[in-house]
Structure formats: C-alpha cells, structure tokens
Amino acid sequence: MVGSYANGAGKNGAAEGKLDELRRRLGKAEGDPLRIAGVGAGAWGSVFCALLQDAYGRDHRDKAQVRVWRRPGRAVDRATAEHLFEVINAREAVLRRLIRRCAYLKYVEARLGDRTLYADEILRDGFCLNMIDTPLCPLKVVTNLQEAVWDADIVINGLPSTETREVFGEIGRYWKERINPPIIISLAKGIEASLDPMPRIITPTQMIANATGVPLENILYLGGPNIASEIYNKEYANARICGSEKWRKPLSKFLRQPHFIVWDNSDLITHEVMGGLKNIYAIGAGMVAALTNESATSKAVYFSLCTSEMIYITHLLAEEPERLSGPLLADTYVTLLKGRNAWYGHKLAKAELTLEMGDSIKGKGTIQGVSAVNAFYELLSQGSISVTHPETKKHVAPVELCPILKTLYKILIKRELGTSSILEAIRDESMSDPRERIEMAQRQSLYRPSLLGLPKVDWQC
C-alpha cells in the first residue's frame, strides 16, 4: 500500500534489531522508551518523523516514541479544507481510518464552513499543511515546546534555518539541568552571515550548538535528494548523515530503510553549505525554466554555471571540500529540478507571485533560498576576504567571481533587476568556461578558516 502507514516495517524483526542496537548505545534501560522529538512540522520535517513512526513508533511502542512539535493556532483556510476533504474521499484507506478514529465528521464540517480546522489538529490525523496531497501516518503532535523536547533522546530539527536560532534558544533553557545531552539531527538548509567582528558563516548546526550548549559531536546534518512527498510514497532515495563518527555511523544504520538508504560522511561543513547554496540556485533554475519555456539546453547551461559557483564557494569554506558527487550532487540536481525554491523562481518569472508577497508562501512554507541569497552575498562581498581575479590579477571580493549569485541578489534582495536578468547572466559572451572557475578554486589557496569562526591564518592567493 504505497504511502500508507500500514507498511509493516518492523514485522521481520530487522527494525527491532536496529532499534535495540541504538538503545544500547544510548544506555536506555528496559522499559524506558527511546524518545524522538521532531521540532517543526514543514513537509520534510513531518515526513521524516512519519518515517520513524512507521518504522519504530507503531510496532514497538514500548521501545520507541515519536512526537512532533508545531506551533498552535495556525488556522486552515476554507479552500484548503475543501481540498483536504477531496483528498480524504479519494483514498479509501484514509477515509476508513478517519471514520474508525471518529475524526471524519470535522472534515465534513470544515468543508461546509461550519468549523475551523488547525494545522496541529490535522497533523495528528496525518495531514501536513504544506503537503495536503500526501497523507501521512497519524502522529503524536505537541504544541508545548518544553513538553516536546525536555526528555528527548533524539531531536529532529525540521525548522527553516531562519527560525532555528530562536527556537533552539528557547529549547536551551529547558535543557540547562540535563546531565546527558541529546542527539540532534538537523534537516535545515541555509546559513546566517555574521560580519562583526569578522565575516563568517553560521550554519544551523552551529546555531544549535551555540543556543543549547549541546556539543557539536552530538549534532549532525542529514541531506540528500529528498522530495518529501515522493519519499513518503516509497520512491527510492538516498541521503548522507554528516558529523562525528561517534554518532553518524550508528544513526545511518538506524535511519536506513529499504527505500531510503542513508550513508555517513565526515564533511559536515560542505554538506551544510551546499544545502544552503542549492536553494539559492534553485530559485534561478526555476526562473530559467519559466523564461525559456522549459528549454533543456538553457537549463543545462545554467546547471553547469551554478554548480561551478557552488564548488568555488565551498573551497572558501573547507580546506578539502567533499566533491560535488553522489547524494551531494543528486540533492543539488533534484532541488533545481523540483522543489519549493525552483517552484518559487518559476512563479516569480511567470508573474504569478511577486516579491512583495514575502518568502513564506501558503501551501509551501518558507522559501529558504531567499534569505540564503542575502547571507551568502553579504559574506562574499567583504573586501577583507579578497581573492585574486584570474584575469586582472587584482584583489576582489569573492562574489565578483559569482555572477549568478550577484544577479539573484539584485533580483531578489535589492530588487534592481527583473527576473529576465538571469538569462542575461548566463548568456554573457564574456563569461569564462565554468571549468576555469573550478580549476582556480582547486589551484589557488582559497580556504578561509576565519569564515567558519576559526583562527585567522596567513594565506596566499
């Protein structure tokens, strides 16, 4: 049954064996369940928790408990309630489940306008507000943040990067008396830029560590080519969990499912940075697709140019960055091909959305690429981290070698240019072969440890 919560994940004993192994590593006593708490209930955060509920929380309730926190009070509008009613009635298994749980009548009343539904309420029945067309399994939803996280063994950060610092700052206050820090798996893609006293990036895992005091070895990042609805519908996917060896290897085994393969990797910085960069360039990809009537050639040209910029930028932030291959490349590809950021760029170019509508879009959630454009541009425009221009041999800010990033900044942040300017950027006759940018990044000593808040060292460009 595709996409159903009745997938029998633990019936062959494999799931229970993986669960028991992780419980032993965490020192869990008999009768003390492994407590997994999701923080944030966007599409991917909700699906990730639903996968864990399917695999462990339903059939092994005495050993694992999964709960999700989301803010209360978000009303479901009438149009969405009507669409949700259609979704329910088109799926017999979902309809029967709601009737059995005595939960169907409220959806009838909401469709008629006689009742207001709320996002936390429908999530308990398996409906994520940002992904109505893909019903999930029922989830335990908690609207009190302290109740959700205070005793959690594993916390899943499903928040946008723009909300991570604030929410985990609050969580940190609840954890002051904890003896053993939890494990945190961050799904957030994006960065903040701090310019004072020195330009540097702050990734979501760093935000969490700073806000909570949890050691970085307990904070990991998971990313890959993951379109949330497709993964829940059992489309084959893979991902990498990145961080300390102590936890990434056991967690990769714990998270692995037949249709969702998770590998482990030590390069946390490159994967987190690429996670933010791909959202930036996905907005441009959506614009190019819309403006060229889905021209495969134009989209391929854009892909080659933007990936060369991404590789260049990661060489500033990591001494030996992970190559853009495997799940890292696949994540970039699928985000540029199909994702909320590409969708947003497409809608802007078609004038079906405007910048004045903001970057939080009904039915989609936060378009994280917008804030990432601003953060990366601010960071890479600082003269204090200058690089040598390959042609003029003069020192310039790194952003001067990233024309697509510059153009997206002028479109999305400064609002000086229209969306059609993205085509001018990729059709510039004076543009160098993207291979040259990659070779320059590999040849020059671009690494700037100060951008990560590490001690400044002398460098040669």
pLDDT (mean) for 23-28: 96
Q: Cα–Cα distance between 350 and 297 in angstroms, integer?
A: 19
Q: Does domain 11-73+140-266 have CATH number 3.40.50.720?
A: yes
Question: H/E element holding 449?
Answer: none
Q: Cα–Cα distance between 236 and 226 in angstroms, integer?
A: 10
Do 269-447 and 11-73+140-266 fall under one CATH topology? no
Does the pLDDT at position 443 exceed 80?
no
Does the pLDDT at position 2 exceed 60?
no
Q: How confident is the model at residue 454 (pLDDT cuts 50, 70, 90)?
A: low
pTM of the predicted protein model? 0.90
Does the pLDDT at position 182 exceed 50?
yes
- If you search the block for the tokens 């059995």, which residue do you land on? 100
Amino acid at 171: I
Does the pLDDT at position 12 exceed 80?
no
Residue 16 φ/ψ region, left for φ over 0, alpha for ψ in the -120 to 50 degree band, beta for the rest: alpha
Q: How confident is the model at residue 352 (pLDDT cuts 50, 70, 90)?
A: very high
Mean pLDDT is lowest, of 35-39, 92-96, 395-399, for 395-399
pLDDT (mean) for 255-284: 94
Question: H/E element holding 241?
Answer: strand 237-242
Q: Calculate what percentage of the chain has a pLDDT beyond 70.
A: 95
Q: How confident is the model at residue 326 (pLDDT cuts 50, 70, 90)?
A: confident
pLDDT (mean) for 194-210: 90
* Nearest 10 degrees: Cα torsion 255, 260, 261, 262: -40
Q: Which tokens in the block code for residue 349?
A: 């170019």
Question: H/E element holding 327?
Answer: helix 326-337
Q: Does domain 269-447 have CATH number 1.10.1520.10?
A: no
The predicted pLDDT at position 39 comes to: 98
pLDDT (mean) for 64-72: 97
- Given a contact cutoff of 8 angstroms between Cβ atoms, the answer to whether 113 and 78 are in contact is yes
Q: Cα–Cα distance between 171 and 175 in angstroms, integer?
A: 7
Q: How confident is the model at residue 459 (pLDDT cuts 50, 70, 90)?
A: very low
The predicted pLDDT at position 444 comes to: 65
351 vs 326: which has the higher pLDDT: 351
pLDDT (mean) for 253-282: 94
By C-alpha distance, which of 47, 262, 49 is closest to 142?
49
Question: H/E element holding 15?
Answer: helix 14-26
Amino acid at 107: Y
pLDDT (mean) for 313-334: 87
Mean pLDDT is lowest, of 135-139, 292-296, 362-366, 457-461, for 457-461
Mean pLDDT is lowest, of 204-208, 274-278, 337-341, 444-448, for 444-448
pLDDT (mean) for 166-180: 95
The predicted pLDDT at position 7 comes to: 41
pLDDT (mean) for 303-326: 88
446 vs 340: which has the higher pLDDT: 340
pLDDT (mean) for 55-83: 95
What are the structural domain ranges in the chain? Answer: 11-73+140-266, 78-117, 269-447
- Given a contact cutoff of 8 angstroms between Cβ atoms, the answer to whether 31 and 21 are in contact is no
Q: How confident is the model at residue 10 (pLDDT cuts 50, 70, 90)?
A: very low
Looking at the annotation, which residues are catalytic? 278
Angle between helices 204-212 and 161-174 (to 10 degrees): 20
- pLDDT by residue (tens digit) across 377-394? 999 998 888 888 878 888
- pLDDT by residue (tens digit) across 405-418? 999 999 999 999 99
The predicted pLDDT at position 415 comes to: 97
pLDDT (mean) for 144-149: 97
Q: How confident is the model at residue 458 (pLDDT cuts 50, 70, 90)?
A: very low
Does the pLDDT at position 22 exceed 90?
yes
Mean pLDDT is lowest, of 78-82, 170-174, 388-392, for 388-392
Q: Calculate what percentage of the chain has a pLDDT beyond 90.
A: 76
The predicted pLDDT at position 197 comes to: 79
Q: Which tokens in the block code for residue 341?
A: 């950021």
Does the pLDDT at position 19 exceed 50?
yes
The predicted pLDDT at position 460 comes to: 35
Does the pLDDT at position 457 exceed 50?
no
For the chain, the average pLDDT equals: 91
Q: Cα–Cα distance between 351 and 89 in angstroms, integer?
A: 33
What is the torsional sign of CA 302, 305, 309, 310?
positive
Mean pLDDT is lowest, of 21-25, 70-74, 358-362, for 358-362
Does the pLDDT at position 402 exceed 70?
yes
Sequence-separated (6 or more) residues with CB below 8 Å from residue 414 = none
- pLDDT by residue (tens digit) across 283-300? 999 999 999 999 999 999
Does the pLDDT at position 89 exceed 60?
yes
